Every structure is written in structure tokens, then in C-alpha cells.
Amino acid sequence: MIHVVEVTSPGKANAWFAFDREDFSRKVSVAKAREGRVIFTVTSPRRLLEAAGLTPQSPEAGASHGPIFELAEKHGWDTDLYRADDLLGEGVYDPEPVSEFEACVATLAEGLHACRVYLSDESASRALYGDPFYQGREGFPAHMALREQLIALEVISDDL
């Protein structure tokens, strides 16, 4: 189970969970989709051009899709390129692999005051009492959000 704590602004926090990385990515993609932004995709210069109905040999392709030709010149027509706007920068295609999960974590954190993602019940439970993020007046709302979630999911027992 993956546990997420979002601090939307000082004093306001909520927690939610996902069953696995696939569920996490699906939930983030649905909740954070924005016009013109790419959360995660893998493509190639050839596939980008084909999506426009063109091939590298099309006479008008070079003039109308210069940036794709630049990508092809730099990386090759069939090299997988990763795009994750919140992780790599808007519109950046990079041959260095990134995972959909990493891209979704970056998208999730965008615009939040703070965010924590725990990949297991155990790591979330340890963090609740061991991470300074949850201590003091500032950490109290996040502490309570995660605590209530862990109790509801029967990961920990109510100790009050």
C-alpha cells in the first residue's frame, strides 16, 4: 500500500492511499491532468511526426515540424524519449529513462506546500512518529491526517 500526505497550505493536510504504483499513477493522472501538460509519456521523434500524419520523408515535414527534426538529429528517429513536464521541465524530451511513478510524484508535489509519499504501511507508520515533518505545531495537521488514515486502514491502532 502506498500512503500519500499532501499539505495544501500551512495548517491544511490530507492523506490518501493507493494500492500499488499503477493505482497511484492512475489516481494522480486523473486528479492532476491539465491542458497542454504531459504527466508522462514515452515516444520517439518518428512517432511524434507520425502523430501529425507525416513521415520524415514528407516534403512539408521539415518546415512545419522543425523541433521534431532537431530531436531526431540529436537522438535518432527511433530512440525512446521520455517526457514528464513536472519532472524534466515543460516540453523536454530526454533519452534518460524516468518511470511513470517518478513523473507522477513530481506532478503530485507541484503546487503543494509539502508532500510525502510512503511505499509501504511500515514506512508510513515509522514516519508518523519518527519524521520531524510530523512534529510540533506545524506538523500536527499532517500528523493527524496520516494517523487517521493508518487507523482507518487498520495499519495502526488508535492509541488515544
Chunked in runs of 10, what are the mean pLDDT values of the chain (160 residues)?
A: 96 97 97 92 96 88 89 96 97 98 97 96 97 95 97 88
pTM, entire model: 0.88
Cα-to-chain-centroid distance, residue 84: 8
**Cα–Cα distance between 30 and 79 in angstroms, integer?**
28
DSSP state of 95: S
Position 61 scores a pLDDT of 84
Given a contact cutoff of 8 angstroms between Cβ atoms, the answer to whether 127 and 118 are in contact is: yes
In angstroms, what CA-CA distances link 53 with 60, 75, 106? 11, 21, 32
Position 160 scores a pLDDT of 64
**Cα–Cα distance between 87 and 12 in angstroms, integer?**
25
Q: Considering just the CA atoms, what is the radius of gyration of the chain in Å?
A: 21
Position 67 scores a pLDDT of 93
